[in-house]
Structure 1
Amino acid sequence: MLTTSARPTAGKPAERLPTPHELAALTGDRDRVVDLIRICSLLVVVVGHSIMLTVDTSDGAIRLGNTLGEVPILQPATWLLQVLPLFFFAGAAASTHGWMSRASDDPPAAGHWLFTRTQRLLRPLGWYLGVVLVVLAGLTTAGLDAAADVVARLGVQLLWFLGAYLLVLAVVPLLQRIRTPLHVFLALGTCWGSTALIDAIRLHAGPSWLGYLNFLTVWTIPAVLGVAYAKQILRPGTAAAVSIGALILDTGLVHRGPYEISLVTVPGQQLSNMSPPSLLLAGHAIVLCAGAVAVRRVLATIAGRPRVWWWVVLGNRGAMTLYLWHLPVLAAVIVLGAVTGLDRADVQSASFPIVVGVQTMLLLALMVPVVVMLSPLENRPLPWWDGPVARRAGRARDLTLLAALVCLGIAVLMVSRYGLLGDGIGWLISGIGCAVTGRVLALRPAARGGGDAVPGDDASLQVSASRRSTTLDESHRRR
């Protein structure tokens, strides 16, 4: 883990953050493409959410809408805006780098390894949920039921991503068996074929709940390609052919199959491609992630520029902060616009694209200080939760830990579905119970004098201005 920081010492002023060239030297041969893909995909998500959201506050109610639902001609743009598969791709690639750096001599237990990833993921989520619950309680107490309902639902809607991400990370140790192009194609075929079978059953009078298995089959596809990328299994030409082939197949699914063209959920859809994920989204994940493998050298050239890399490092330090907090900041921007007479209610008005464009730029500008202020919470270890994790344990204990974390991922998915209302509260309590159970199971046994411990997230970059130190973990030097 990289940490560059500066704390004022006696008689000395605080040191500055490293310059782009200094930071480039400090990060050694870290795989910069992974970090570039991660932060760029999140920025596209932020912009996409801002562009798509409409808000009507007439008659004292709050009605949320979607630009894509009211202007269907824009729906093909979601094939460019739906880039979350790239985040899963980058996460699996970074996890594979970390796994390989440890597994050469003594591979860690899968469940305990997964918990080290969960530690960092849940740290910013804990702070965020705490604020949402306080705001929700305040609005409810004040009798602002309409606003409370929006917070209870929209405030946790995006958490599905973290739930799905945990499920995908749970299979990353299994995916380390991928070593050849044939293994890659077999894994992709299994995931794509399973998704096709599930869709065929659920769309022909089968149980609707079956579709939620696609959260694992679809989102494992970018993980497979992320592992293949990290191990450099696929050649760029092969990856390009796979990407183009999947794009042609997706086009056929839209024209001949039951799938709608929008890759995000919009009002009025007969079949959502997102919730649950569909076969069309599975193909889209192949298009994006195989395409990323194909243009690896181009992306490496871009990320190799010191100034670009400087921003990539700072952005990745607060990646989860950016994802979790951009909707509350967007809500504040929209409220400010409504107060000043600039609303998002009528997508047909001439001013709508101007208002949305200006507010999107304002959102991006405001997220810079927000990330700067809140990202320390994402990177600051919490007592007990971020304590050392045993590197290995008995098989039964490790499998129990793995099961607890999988249940945690499912609980997060359910909270995002139901909101902080009714069943959602029960799922939230269950998720907290799973997290606590996982922490207890992952504790390093004190009776053995400690033993080896697995550090926290090995894939994160940290740049801070709170300590006078510069350290570079060896796992990064090997990338």
Structure 2
Amino acid sequence: MLTTSARPTAGKPAERLPTPHELAALTGDRDRVVDLIRICSLLVVVVGHSIMLTVDASGGSIRLGNTLGDVPMLQPATWLLQVLPLFFFAGAAASTHGWMSRASDDPPAAGHWLFTRTQRLLRPLGWYLGVVLVVLAGLTTAGLDAAADVVARLGVQLLWFLGAYLLVLAVVPLLQRIRTPLHVFLALGTCWGSTALIDAIRLHAGPSWLGYLNFLTVWTIPAVLGVAYAKQILRPGTAAAVSIGALILDTGLVHRGPYEISLVTVPGQQLSNMSPPSLLLAGHAIVLCAGAVAVRRVLATIAGRPRVWWWVVLGNRGAMTLYLWHLPVLAAVIVLGAVTGLDRADVQSASFPIVVGVQTMLLLALMVPVVVMLSPLEYRPLPWWDGPVARRAGRARDLTLLAALVCLGIAVLMVSRYGLLGDGIGWLISGIGCAVTGRVLALRPAARGGGDAVPGDDASLQVSASRRSTTLDESHRRR
């Protein structure tokens, strides 16, 4: 992630943001392709959610729908809109850049390294959940049960991504053993083959819960290719061939069945490709991420343009804020539209595409000030939680910490599934317990002094034009 700094000091005017050319000069050694992929994939997610969501508030209840379910002919578009594999790809690539820069001297313990990443991820999540719980309590107290139910479910629905992301990050240290194209193909084959086996069992009278293992096997695929990208293992031509081959295979899976064409869950779908992830989504991840490796030079040229890079930096400084808060802002836009008579209940109406288009543009415009206002919370250290982390620990302690963080990822997935209702509350409490356990296990022993700490995760890119200095996060230098 990136942050720009322009805080005023006593008696001095506020520092201005650097110009595009100044910023380009300050960040010359950063992997811009990773940052470009990250922010572009998030923007596509935001736009996709706005386009797909339908809301019918007639009759005193709130019914949420999906444009893709009402207009099935649009479902093939999900092969373009489902770009979350690219976010996992970018995260693994950034982590690998940092891991390689540290491992040459003194590799950190895997569990403690993962906790530094968890510190960064859970900081904005904590603020977000706090607001959701306050709003939920207010709606419940006011007797607005329909609205409270929507907030309890939709407010945490997108947290599945953070749970899956934690699980994938847990295997990133293991993936550092990938060094050759053969290693890449073996890792991809293992993940894809495991997903195929799990699907074969669960779709033929096997236990349905088995499918949730695919959260690890499927989402590890973009991580494998992210590692390959960072280490420049695959040639563009090879990556292009892999991408095209996976696309042909995916087409065959849809044609022969039982996989449905939509890569996002839609009402009436017999087999979701997202929850849990399916073999079709595994192939789609290969198509996108191998394709990204294939066009690396093109993306580098685009990201190398100073004006493009300026916007990429500003977007990345609040990527988690953008992801967490875009649905609440979208809800506010939809409510405002309903009050003014512009609802999105009937996808067959002539006004529907106009309303959705205008509201999507308004959402993107509103997210700019929202990110500006809330993104500083991503970088404000929390007492105790953001304290120093031991760089080394006994193997048993480190493995226990790793297990606690894996359990945390599972708990977040379950909160996303059940919402802040019933079992979801229990999973939320379990997740908090896992996070606290992880923090205790990762504490730096006082007797070791200051030379044994792991720097905080995603270090930000803080730029001050007047000082002409830049601090790159751990993600590209020290991590």
Q: Does TM, scored on the shorter chain, surpass 0.5? A: yes
Task: Decide whether aligned partners of structure 1 residues 266 and 475 sit closer, same or farther in structure 2, where only a CA change above 3 A counts.
Answer: closer
Deviation at 1:464, TM superposition (A): 7.7
Per-residue Cα deviation, 1:141-161 (whole angstroms, up to 9, x for no partner): 000000000000000000000
> Residues 342, 167 of structure 1: CA spacing in aligned structure 2 closer, same or farther, 3 A cutoff?
same
Q: Secondary structure at the match of 2:108?
A: coil
What SS is found at the alignment partner of 1:95? helix
Structure 1 position 461, deviation (Å): 3.0
* CA displacement at 1:403 relative to structure 2: 0.3
Shift of 1:22: 1.2
Match of 1:124 in 2: 124
* In 2: Cα distance, 1:436 partner to 1:149 partner: 28
Asked whether the equivalents of residues 98 and 458 of structure 1 are also in contact (C-alpha less than 8 Å), the reply is no
CA–CA distance in 2 between the matches of 1:351 and 1:465? 46
Work out the number of aligned pairs and report it.
479
Sort the Cα spacing of 1:318 and 1:466 in 2 relative to 1 into closer, same or farther, 3 A.
farther
SS of 2:3's equivalent? strand
C-alpha separation between the residues in 2 aligned to 1:2 and 1:42? 15
Contact 1:405–1:438 (Cα < 8 Å) also in 2: yes
Mean Cα deviation higher: 324-333 or 459-468? 459-468
Residue pair 2:124, 2:321 contacting (<8 A) in 1 also = yes
| Aligned partners of 1:30 and 1:478 also within 8 Å | no
Shift of residue 449, structure 1, vs aligned partner: 1.9
Confirm whether residue 276 of structure 1 aligns to residue 276 of structure 2: yes
CA contact (8 A) 1:5 1:468 kept: no
Distance 1:334 1:72, change over 3 A: same
Mapped contact 2:390–2:443 kept (Cα < 8 A):
yes
Residues 10-30 of structure 1: CA deviation (Å, up to 9, x unaligned): 543111011111111111211
CA RMSD, Structure 1 to Structure 2 (Å): 1.8
TM superposition shift of 1:257 = 2.0
CA shift at 1:8, angstroms? 3.1
What is the CA-CA distance between 1:452 and the residue it aligns to? Answer: 1.8
- The match for 1:252 is 252
1:4–1:469 Cα contact (<8 Å) kept: no
Match of 1:298 in 2: 298
1:105 Cα offset (Å): 1.0
Following superposition, the deviation at residue 6 of structure 1 comes to 3.5
Taking the aligned partners of 1:474 and 1:94, their CA distance within structure 2 comes to 9
Contact 2:115 2:442 in 1 (8 A): yes
Cα offset, 1:448, TM superposition: 1.8
Distance in 2 of aligned mates of 1:328 and 1:389: 33
Secondary structure in 1 matching 2:451: coil
Q: C-alpha displacement at 1:444, in angstroms?
A: 0.7
The 3-state SS of whatever aligns with 1:376 is helix
When structure 1 is superposed on structure 2, of 9-18 and 67-76 the one drifting more is 9-18
1:57–1:202 distance in 2 versus 1, CA, 3 Å: same
Deviation of 1:387 (Å): 1.1
CA distance in 2, matches of 1:265, 1:318: 27
TM-score in terms of structure 2 length:
0.97
Cα 1:140–1:467, aligned 2, differ >3 Å: closer, same or farther? farther
Seen in structure 2, the aligned counterparts of structure 1 residues 21 and 252 have a Cα distance that, compared at 3 Å, is same
- Partner Cα separation in structure 2 for residue 464 and residue 71 of structure 1: 49
- Residue 236 of structure 1 deviates from its aligned partner by 0.1
Contact kept in structure 1, 2:95 and 2:475, CA below 8 Å: no
- Mark the CA change 1:467 to 1:430 in structure 2 (over 3 Å): closer, same or farther: farther
Q: State the alpha-carbon separation in 1 of the partners of residues 249 and 351 from structure 2.
A: 38
Give the conservation status (yes or no) of the 8 Å contact 1:317–1:462. Answer: no
Question: Per-residue displacement from partner, 1:76-108 (whole Å, max 9, x unpaired)?
Answer: 000000000000000000000010010001100
Query: How many angstroms does 1:472 deviate by?
Result: 4.2
SS of 2:9 mapped into structure 1: coil
Relative to 1, partners in 2 of residues 1:165 and 1:466: Cα closer, same or farther, differing over 3 Å?
farther
CA contact (8 A) 1:236 1:296 kept: yes
1:7/1:214 CA distance change after superposition, 3 Å: closer
Q: 1:293 to 1:148 in 2, by over 3 A?
A: same
